[in-house]
Amino acid sequence: MSESMTDFARATQDILAAGQRMDVRGWVPATAGNISRRLPDGRIAITRSGCHKGFLTAEDVITVDEAGQPHRSGDKPSAETLLHCQIYQQDPSAGAVLHGHSVASTVLSMIEKGPSLHLADYEVQKVFAGQTTHEASVPVPLFANDQDIARLAKVVAPSFGAMPAGYIIRGHGVYVWGKDMPTALARLEGLEFLLACLLERRKLGL
């Protein structure tokens, strides 16, 4: 087995495990969400379009180039692949990207009128890069949903460098990334926990 095949096999296993973990928590209902991992040679391993993330097989993971184009004829990546590619381009340290559709992220992003949600006073927020205290306020930018992904990417671009917890597409879901899959998963779990707390507080009128 060549080194590149070994790298792809490892990335595939990371993606399958992440899909199962996200599915158990209800963050990727039906065929929602997508998961990717950058390979050492610059290729991006990503889930193909239309597959359930809780029941992924190795055949459901394909590779694309930095522009989101599949390497193998007939492979169909998600239309949102461009947003994964953008993250890898903007953050050279990013090794994995997760996109989920939780109830909390969907509802909060639809009812919040401001440009971002703010997370403050929670110990868990220290999971995000650069955060060392619960006393800080961590912004989570909100962007209007758009079926034109290239146009959406241009709207998101200016906010890179100021999104330690990732971002949310309104009525759609979260994008979170990290240096590797364990880091990305930890940040996703941290963000989803905090969003669930924020939603509960709003239900209580707090």
* Of the options 1.10.1740.10, 1.10.10.10, 1.20.120.140, 3.40.225.10, the CATH number for the domain spanning 3-203: 3.40.225.10
Which among 112, 167, 109, 114 has a CA at the least distance from the CA of 138?
167
Q: What percent of the chain has pLDDT over 90?
A: 85
What sections of the chain are H helices per DSSP?
A: 3-24, 81-90, 103-111, 149-156, 181-203
Which DSSP state fits 77?
A: B
181, pLDDT greater than 80? yes
Q: Which pTM does this prediction carry?
A: 0.93
Q: What is the per-residue pLDDT for 1? A: 40
What sections of 55-180 are H helices per DSSP?
A: 81-90, 103-111, 149-156
Q: Rounded CA gap, 141 and 166, in Å?
A: 8
Mean pLDDT of the chain: 93
CA pseudo-torsion sign 162, 164, 165, 167 = positive
pLDDT digits (tens, 9 = 90+) for 22-37: 999 999 999 999 999 9
What is the mean predicted confidence (pLDDT) over 110-132? Answer: 90
What is the mean predicted confidence (pLDDT) over 139-152? Answer: 96
- What SS3 class is residue 169? strand
Q: What is the per-residue pLDDT for 134? A: 77
How many Cα atoms within 13 Å fall on the side-chain side of residue 125?
A: 23
Which among 86, 87, 110 has a CA at the least distance from the CA of 195?
110
Domain range list for the chain: 3-203
Q: What is the per-residue pLDDT for 145? A: 97
- What SS3 class is residue 119? strand
> CB–CB of 164/129 below 8 Å?
yes
pLDDT digits (tens, 9 = 90+) for 42-70: 999 999 999 999 999 999 999 999 999 99
Which among 149, 148, 125, 144 has a CA at the least distance from the CA of 135?
125
